[in-house]
Amino acid sequence: MFEGGLRSVALSERPRRFSYRERPFDLRATAVFFGLTALLLVIVGLLARTAMDVAERRPAWVVVLSLLAVALLPAWWRKRRRMTVARLARRTTEALEEATATTLEAVEEDRRVDVSGGGEATVVLDYAALSADDFEQAIADLCIRDGCSQVRVVGGAGDLGADVLALAPDGRRVVIQCKRYGDDNKVGSQELQRFGGTCYTVHGADVAVIVTTSDFTAPAEEYAAQCGIVCVNHELLRAWSGGLLAPPWAPGPAVDTDQAAL
């Protein structure tokens, strides 16, 4: 009792309970986790070694793969805790297959090189994807690569059928017309006739060549054979670019048919 008649009331404080559940140790899950982690480290090491070899030849891949890794890292971090052992194994396998396919594709593209250009690697271009002007320049570059001199791109209005002029290594004058057409648009006999009417008389060609990203009709090939015009379709152009086909001005058989079809 306090003075003034007030009662003192004793309040009992309920003790706080701290409950927690202890997670039991699972030896099997732990062993599987460390086994998969070790496997993943081995795979990453092999991929890193392969990537370094590829990066020496294609530095752009380093930038692309780095950006991809940065973009995927936040999503991987959010889902990491929810990932079960089975999902981890499956996703690791899928990532390995995708990375292997990408690496093999890069290596295969690097193997498409010029085998007659003194050992310098030259990637075969997708000529159909070039603009008309770039296509003419690409053909001029092939002439320079294969030893021509005085190479000039003269295509345009009033070119009278000549797009590239050059002197072959033996001094003959080479006149080339470039036709960047789609697959469904073949070069016809009328176009061959127009070119045949100017390449010799106007441009003084010793070797007349018409190059296309498409193909030639049968009448066009017959006219070209009669006039001595060399026809290079998309398959032969790819072979020429890849070093499997001798330049159009080279004497004798120009190509191994089986190799040119590759």
Instruction: Report the pLDDT value the prediction gives residue 78, as an integer from 0 to 100.
Output: 63
Within 8 A by CB and 6+ apart from 232, the residues are 209, 210, 211, 212, 240, 248
CA 111 to chain centroid, in Å, comes to: 12
Instruction: Report the pLDDT value the prediction gives residue 259, as an integer from 0 to 100.
Output: 40
Query: What residue type is 241 in one-letter code?
Result: S
3-state DSSP of the chain: CCCCCCCCCCCCCCCCCCCCCCCCCCHHHHHHHHHHHHHHHHHHHHHHHHHHHHHHHCCHHHHHHHHHHHHHHHHHHHHCCCCCHHHHHHHHHHHHHHHHHHHHHHHHHHCCCCCCCCCCCCCCCCHHHCCHHHHHHHHHHHHHHCCCEEEEECCCCCCCCCCEEEECCCCCEEEEEEECCCCCCCECHHHHHHHHHHHCCCCCCCEEEEEECCCECHHHHHHHHHHCEEEECHHHHHHHHHCCECCCCCCCCCECHHHHCC
Mean pLDDT of the chain: 75
Q: Does domain 127-260 have CATH number 3.40.1350.10?
A: yes
pLDDT in tens, 15-29: 555 444 555 666 777
Mean local confidence (pLDDT), 94-105: 58
Q: Is the model more confident about 10 or about 98?
A: 98
pLDDT in tens, 220-245: 999 999 989 999 999 999 999 988 88
Residue whose C-alpha is closest to residue 212's, from 229, 185, 193, 233: 233
CA dist 56 → 43, 106, 234, 242, 244 (Å): 20, 12, 31, 21, 26
User: Is residue 178 very low, low, confident or very high in pLDDT (cuts 50, 70, 90)?
Assistant: very high
pLDDT in tens, 185-202: 999 999 999 998 889 989
Residue whose C-alpha is closest to residue 162's, from 135, 114, 194, 199: 199
Distance between CA atoms of 191 and 178, rounded to whole angstroms?
11
Instruction: Report the pLDDT value the prediction gives residue 250, as an integer from 0 to 100.
Output: 86
Distance between CA atoms of 121 and 57, rounded to whole angstroms?
10
Domain residue ranges of the chain, discontinuous segments joined by +: 27-110, 127-260
